[in-house]
Amino acid sequence: MPELPSPTHGFPGRLFVFEGLDGSGKSTQAMLLGKWLQSQGYRVFFTEWNSSELTAATIRRGKKKNLLTPTTFSLLHATDFADRFERKILPPLRAGYVVVCDRYAYTAFVRDAARGCDPAWVRNIYSFAPRPDCVFYFRVPVSVTLQRKIASRLKINYYEAGMDLGLSDDVRDSYQRFQTRLKQEYERMVRTDEFTVIDSSRSVESIQGQLRSIVRPILQNFPMAERLMHDAG
């Protein structure tokens, strides 16, 4: 087994997390980094927020019918994350994989706080989730995310716009206000949770270059897939 457990969480694998507002470019970068790591010979496991089969249908149904309160919204997403964590994130982490997460517990911290849940309560719920080796926070102005949203012609959905909070009757206005709240929460965590801030306004290539140069030293002496297979046998 890998000889160097992570100094942050103690598992043999490594955990990289991408956080930021919708439209900050984090998903593209997470995907590119995952592919690069794979090409370098690492065993990579990639996971997204809100993708477990268990609660996906309930979350969809709950959202569609607007059945969710801030508390059930928070708990459902926590359940979903726990399921993904227990089945998909923890095993590869223990087996020595590089796990790349497009959103992690921090997404819950910002959304739930913006919906009025007690932050200490939310943190406690997610205390089973270990601290990542690195959290990349993609900083972007709210106005830019709105422009991207409009340009993509995707409909802004009810919860994404925080319409359940009654901030405004206008979807676009509500979206802007809600995303501003989320951004405030993220910015607050930059120091407390030691985020690595990535400036989203730069080119895709230059950001990817920056990510790779940050990740390289963290993966120094970290075993490649090939070695894992042979050593484990």
Partner 1 sequence: MTPGRTYGTRLPGLPEHSLPGKLIVVEGADGSGRTTEVTLLKQWLEVEGHAVVDTGLRRSTLVAEEIDRAKQGHTLGATTMALLYCVDFADQLENKIIPALSAGSTVLADRYIYTLMARAVVRGASRDWARELYAFALQPDLVVFLEARPEILLHRAIAKYGSLDYWESGMDLSLSRDLFESFFAYQDRLSKEFAWVAAEYGFHRVDANRTADKVHEDVRALVAPLYLPPAARRDPSPPRPTVSRPRRPAASA
d(CA 67, CA 17): 30
Contacting partner 1 (CB under 8 A), which of 127, 203, 213, 221? Answer: 127
Asked if 66 interacts with partner 1 (CB under 8 A), we say no
d(CA 198, CA 29): 11
CB count in 10 Å sphere of residue 213 = 9
Asked if 224 interacts with partner 1 (CB under 8 A), we say no
Q: Which residues pair with 44 in a beta bridge?
A: 98
Provide the phi-psi class of 14: left if phi over 0, else alpha when psi is between -120 and 50, else beta.
Answer: beta
With respect to partner 1, which residue has the nearer C-beta, 42 or 106?
106
With respect to partner 1, which residue has the nearer C-beta, 34 or 162?
162
With respect to partner 1, which residue has the nearer C-beta, 90 or 95?
90
Report which residue type is found at 210: Q
Asked if 118 interacts with partner 1 (CB under 8 A), we say yes
Closest approach of Cβ 8 to partner 1, in Å? 14
Please name the helix (run of DSSP H) or strand (run of DSSP E) that holds residue 136, with its range, or none: strand 134-139
Asked if 6 interacts with partner 1 (CB under 8 A), we say no
Asked if 123 interacts with partner 1 (CB under 8 A), we say yes
Asked if 154 interacts with partner 1 (CB under 8 A), we say no
d(CA 151, CA 208): 23
Contacting partner 1 (CB under 8 A), which of 35, 121, 172, 206? Answer: 121
**Coil, strand or helix: which one is 180?**
helix
d(CA 152, CA 15): 31
With respect to partner 1, which residue has the nearer C-beta, 62 or 141?
62
Part of the chain binding partner 1 (CB under 8 A), chosen from 80-88, 138-146, 153-161, 187-195: 80-88
d(CA 79, CA 126): 10
**Residues that bind partner 1 in the complex, under the rule CB under 8 A:** 54-55, 57-58, 62, 67, 69-72, 75-76, 78-79, 82-83, 85-87, 90, 115-118, 120-121, 123-125, 127-129
